[in-house]
Amino acid sequence: MNLTLTVKSNLIKAKALELGLDLCGIAKADFLDEEKDNFLSWLDKEYHGEMGYMANNIEKRLDPRLLVENTKSIVVVGLNYFPKEQQKDPEAPVIAKYAYGKDYHFVLKDRLNKLLEYINTEIGDVTGRAFVDSAPVLEHAWAKKAGLGWIGKNSLLLNRKIGSFLFLGELLIDMELEYENPIYQDFCGGCSKCIRACPTGAITEPYVVNGSKCISYFTIELKGEIPVEVEGQFENRVFGCDICQDVCPWNRMAKGNTVPEFEPNSDLLSLSKEELENIDAHQFGEIFRNSAVKRTKFKGFKRNLDFLSQTKGTNSAENNMNN
């Protein structure tokens, strides 16, 4: 069966939607010349903090053909994770929305592997690999090149229909396909809500985020103690941070996802402030059994809770002194 590049590409995109993915685009595998200087500058400024892995395999990050031999095309998919329901107690320590359900690495990679299997059986023999935030792949750059959206001022990918609450994944395959036109137009315009809303000032300038100042970095990536300089700046975030997304106008119409695996544990959403602050290791293991929250382990989660409690205690003492 001799299919045209257009037909092959359309079949892949149609199958992606059938598998429950929300977005699918295809980019030609090439050297990321436009992104090179910005990425190297970001590393030089040490904006990656203790995330040493970001400085590894730089050549492979900039050229996926070095990551998977003979790669010709990158199929990029997006999956909406915005929840239908959120934590019920407004006073409870806040958990980032992406961690409500089953760990996205497994959910998205399963769909990508099914898409790869479909390509092999229905379109043509290919060699390739699926990646979900698990290898040196600059996913936002490739999502933009695949026409899925543009890069917002908070450095996240934005899509006009879905917003930014998206998981991204890639298939690197040795098959030539028809490629999308990247979205170069900046639909953020003069808006700077994400920059103004960031409590720690992590968005140093439009499109540039100092990762080592992000609340997500402090509550997930940082292994040691959280520095006292950021006390009182977390706005009750205990795992991750959605603030720059929550204020984004493109997320005003965000719709709840339809992914069964992302259905949140009802116990998680119903936890009161007191219950969450006093969670023990056993409860942590049960409630976050399949969640990305387990990445911090109980020790890290407890550290974050203690930091929030310590911050509140400091603020209360200051208020009493002022009164």
Sign of the alpha-carbon torsion through 150, 156, 162, 166: positive
Domain residue ranges of the chain, discontinuous segments joined by +? 1-316
Distance CA 150, CA 182 (A): 8
Helix axes 5-18 and 104-118, enclosed angle (nearest 10): 140
pLDDT mean over 302-323 = 68
Tokens of 245: 């997304």
Amino acid of residue 306: D
Distance CA 105, CA 110 (A): 8
pLDDT in tens, 233-268: 999 999 999 999 999 999 999 999 999 999 998 899
**Contacts (Cβ under 8 Å, ≥6 apart) of 34:** none
Q: Are 75 and 11 in contact (CB under 8 A)?
A: no
* DSSP code at position 159: B
Please report the pLDDT score of residue 266 as a whole number. Answer: 84
pLDDT in tens, 277-304: 999 999 999 999 999 999 999 999 999 9
Distance CA 284, CA 276 (A): 9
pLDDT in tens, 133-177: 989 999 999 999 999 999 999 999 999 999 999 999 999 999 999
Backbone angles phi, psi at 202, to 5 degrees: -70, -30
pLDDT in tens, 178-217: 999 998 889 999 999 999 999 999 999 999 999 999 999 9
Please report the pLDDT score of residue 321 as a whole number. Answer: 41
Q: Are 126 and 175 in contact (CB under 8 A)?
A: yes
Distances (CA, A) of 231 to 94, 164, 236, 259: 16, 28, 11, 36
Tokens of 84: 């239908």
Amino acid of residue 279: I
Q: Are 193 and 23 in contact (CB under 8 A)?
A: no
Distance CA 111, CA 169 (A): 10
Instruction: Say if residue 323's pLDDT is above 60.
Output: no
Q: How long, in residues, is the chain?
A: 323
Tokens of 150: 């543009």
pLDDT mean over 104-122 = 97
Half-sphere exposure (Cβ direction) of 294: Cα atoms closer than 13 Å: 15
Query: What pTM does this model have?
Result: 0.94
Backbone angles phi, psi at 102, to 5 degrees: -65, 145
pLDDT band at residue 310 under the 50/70/90 scheme: confident
Distances (CA, A) of 89 to 32, 54, 99, 272: 44, 36, 17, 6
**Among 210, 99, 83, 81, which Cα is nearest to 218's?**
210
Active-site residues, by number, are: 133
- Name all contacts of 283-289 with Cβ < 8 Å and 24+ positions apart: 288/99, 289/265
Please report the pLDDT score of residue 115 as a whole number. Answer: 98
Instruction: Say if residue 6's pLDDT is above 70.
Output: yes
